[in-house]
């Protein structure tokens, strides 16, 4: 039986699971609130053992027919899926800016078009996955990329639509069937994704959504021996737990985790450009995994850089993310507000200096001022740990060697930014130990390029062929000459 649809900012959205092509209600539900004004948005289904089992059975049942199709046969389904996402663009924007606090402008111009591309690009790229013949002295090899089976996709609240489609696109295009476990603090766009898949005519069981908490529903999904892969984006703590649970069944996991990425400003940097980009790190209230959050600035230009960046930060528009002009929105959850403020308060108590911000923002209960903290040691917790809020740190260095050493001086290794004369900045960037780094730019992403972190920031790579390597069983059929 279906639950009544929720009415969220005039968008009708189901609070139920989507299993085997049907909406499935749950006797157990949880409350959802908007981070903007703490308004209750409704009650969402909690996935029990029974729902997890039903979803896995539906996905297993759909697998033989879906995986037996060629990539060319699957492509029209996926193209329609993307079209159906496009038809619901306004609803996706309204829902995610309301339940996750993602900026409406970012949803409209970035996330929704990218979600569509995540599906169509991989549907197209899968055509290159056809058998790849290889000749050696002794034999003909037919290298096949076979779908792995049932894939569990688990995503965080800061970018539910973008990250879910980033995983579902390649997983489905390669012939897997999928179960998506949305983030419990921002589950609405993932529910709408099920409507889009249904309208696109994806066969029942190919794509399923089981709502619920991580500790309950998520844990049950990743512990099940019938699944073939777990694709996870989220925190290091959860990743360690998932890797153990899935590892008990030798189920491979792709883990995209947190970051503490350096933002290096060399002596020969264009300081105004660097400062303008620096202020972008506050977008989405700093709840962006790939943001450069540790500013490392050459001591000779630090004063000028700080003045330039202060100018940009003062102009930032803090407010309701549903207003297109807003640049800094709310923090996702009251618990997260306390966590972020804790970092600031402890740093202050330890003698750090706040260059700007440092307090809650008057706009609302879940708002924190864009903050910059300086006078820090490399081993201070605010330098070492991911804050995931509008809180940046600034340290100075005297030469490239020291900059690289500081950049590499945490357990994280996700991304980075390096501003300077292009050849110089490129040389320094190559010495920074991360999965990716932008030179004189920020946020350029290409679906064909590898994406992922090293050290505590992750295991594996997504993007282009890397996604398919993960979601496929590579098989060598050897025919002697």
Q: Give me the least distance between CB of 170 and ligand NAD, in Å please.
A: 15
Enumerate residues 152-181 that contact ligand NAD by CB under 6 A: 154-159, 181
Under the binding rule (CB under 6 A), the answer on residue 284 touching ligand NAD is: no
Distances (CA, A) of 175 to 150, 170, 195, 387: 10, 9, 20, 38
Pick the binder of ligand NAD from 16, 84, 195, 256 (CB under 6 A).
256
Q: Give me the least distance between CB of 434 and ligand NAD, in Å please.
A: 11
Helices then strands, each counted (H, E), the chain: 16, 24
Pick the binder of ligand NAD from 34, 233, 366, 467 (CB under 6 A).
233
Under the binding rule (CB under 6 A), the answer on residue 383 touching ligand NAD is: no
Q: Give me the least distance between CB of 196 and ligand NAD, in Å please.
A: 20
Structure tokens at 401: 């060697």
Catalytic residue chosen out of the listed positions 256, 267, 327, 462: 256
Pick the binder of ligand NAD from 71, 242, 297, 308 (CB under 6 A).
242
DSSP state of 4: P
Write the interaction track for ligand NAD spanning residues 392-431; mark x where CB under 6 A is met and - where it is not.
----------------------x-----------------
**Residue 49, class by beta-carbon neighbours within 10 Å (0-12 exposed, 13-18 middle, 19+ buried)?**
exposed
Pick the binder of ligand NAD from 81, 282, 295, 388 (CB under 6 A).
388
Distance in angstroms between the alpha carbons of the first and the last residue of the chain = 59
Under the binding rule (CB under 6 A), the answer on residue 16 touching ligand NAD is: no
Give the span between the Cα atoms of 43 and 15, in whole angstroms.
7
* Cross-sheet strand order for the sheet of 391-397: 353-356, 371-374, 391-397, 292-298, 261-265, 417-419, 438-439
Give the span between the Cα atoms of 169 and 16, in whole angstroms.
22
Under the binding rule (CB under 6 A), the answer on residue 218 touching ligand NAD is: yes
Q: 451: number of CA atoms within 13 Å, CB side?
A: 20
Under the binding rule (CB under 6 A), the answer on residue 447 touching ligand NAD is: no
Pick the binder of ligand NAD from 150, 289, 341, 404 (CB under 6 A).
289
Give the total residue count for the chain.
Answer: 481
The answer to whether 84 is a known catalytic residue is: no
Closest CB to ligand NAD among 121 and 185?
185
DSSP per-residue letters across 42-82: EEEEPP-HHHHHHHHHHHHHHHHHHHHS-HHHHHHHHHHHH
Closest CB to ligand NAD among 230 and 301?
230
Under the binding rule (CB under 6 A), the answer on residue 127 touching ligand NAD is: no
DSSP state of 287: -
Pick the binder of ligand NAD from 238, 395, 396, 440 (CB under 6 A).
238
Q: What is the largest CA-CA distance in the chain?
A: 75
Pick the binder of ligand NAD from 241, 312, 356, 363 (CB under 6 A).
241
Q: Do residues 265 and 301 lie in contact, with contact meaning Cβ atoms separated by under 8 Å?
A: yes
Structure tokens at 307: 């003045």
Q: How many residues bind ligand NAD (CB under 6 A)?
A: 31
Under the binding rule (CB under 6 A), the answer on residue 258 touching ligand NAD is: yes
Residues binding ligand NAD (CB under 6 A)? 154-159, 181, 183-184, 213-215, 218-219, 222, 233-235, 238, 241-242, 256-259, 289, 386, 388, 414, 453, 458
Active site residues: 256
């Amino acid at each position: 039986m279906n639950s009544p649809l929720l009415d969220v900012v005039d968008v009708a959205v189901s609070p139920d699971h989507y299993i085997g092509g049907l909406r499935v209600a749950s006797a157990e539900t949880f409350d959802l609130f908007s981070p903007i004004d703490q308004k209750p948005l409704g009650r969402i289904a909690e996935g029990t053992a029974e729902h997890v089992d039903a979803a896995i059975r539906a996905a297993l049942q759909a697998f033989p027919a879906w995986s037996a199709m060629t990539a060319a046969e699957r492509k029209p389904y996926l193209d329609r899926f993307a079209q159906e996402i496009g038809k619901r663009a306004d609803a996706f924007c309204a829902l995610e800016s309301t339940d996750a606090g993602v900026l409406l402008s970012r949803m409209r111009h970035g996330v929704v078009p990218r979600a569509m591309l995540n599906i169509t690009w991989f549907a197209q790229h899968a055509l290159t996955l056809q058998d790849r013949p290889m000749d050696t002295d002794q034999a003909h090899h037919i290298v096949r990329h076979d779908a792995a089976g049932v894939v569990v996709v688990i995503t965080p609240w800061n970018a539910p639509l973008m990250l879910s489609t980033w995983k579902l696109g390649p997983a489905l295009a390669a012939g897997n069937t999928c179960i998506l476990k949305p983030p419990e603090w921002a589950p609405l766009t993932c529910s709408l994704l099920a409507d889009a898949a249904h309208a696109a005519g994806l066969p029942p069981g190919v794509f399923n959504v089981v709502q619920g908490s991580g500790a309950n529903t998520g844990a049950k999904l990743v512990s099940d021996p019938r699944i073939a892969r777990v694709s996870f984006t989220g925190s290091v703590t959860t990743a360690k737990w998932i890797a153990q649970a899935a590892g008990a069944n030798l189920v491979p996991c792709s883990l995209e985790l947190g970051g503490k990425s350096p933002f290096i400003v060399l002596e020969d940097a264009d300081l105004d450009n660097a400062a303008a980009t620096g202020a972008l790190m506050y977008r989405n209230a700093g709840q962006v995994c790939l943001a450069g959050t540790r500013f490392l600035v050459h001591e000779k230009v630090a004063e000028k850089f700080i003045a330039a960046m202060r100018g940009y930060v003062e102009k930032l528009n803090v407010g309701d993310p549903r207003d297109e002009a807003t640049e800094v929105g709310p923090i996702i959850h009251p618990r997260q507000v306390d966590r972020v403020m804790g970092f600031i308060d402890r740093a202050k108590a330890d003698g750090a200096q706040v260059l700007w911000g440092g307090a809650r923002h008057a706009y609302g209960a879940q708002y924190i001022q864009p903050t910059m903290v300086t006078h820090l040691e490399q081993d201070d917790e605010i330098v070492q740990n991911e804050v995931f809020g509008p809180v940046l740190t600034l340290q100075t260095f005297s030469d490239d060697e020291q900059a690289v050493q500081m950049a590499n001086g945490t357990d994280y290794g996700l991304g980075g930014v390096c501003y300077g004369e292009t050849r110089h900045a490129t040389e320094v960037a190559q010495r920074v130990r991360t999965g990716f780094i932008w030179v004189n730019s920020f946020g350029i992403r290409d679906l064909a390029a590898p994406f992922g972190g090293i050290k505590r920031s992750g295991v594996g790579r997504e993007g282009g062929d890397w996604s398919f390597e993960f979601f496929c069983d590579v098989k060598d059929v050897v025919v002697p000459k």
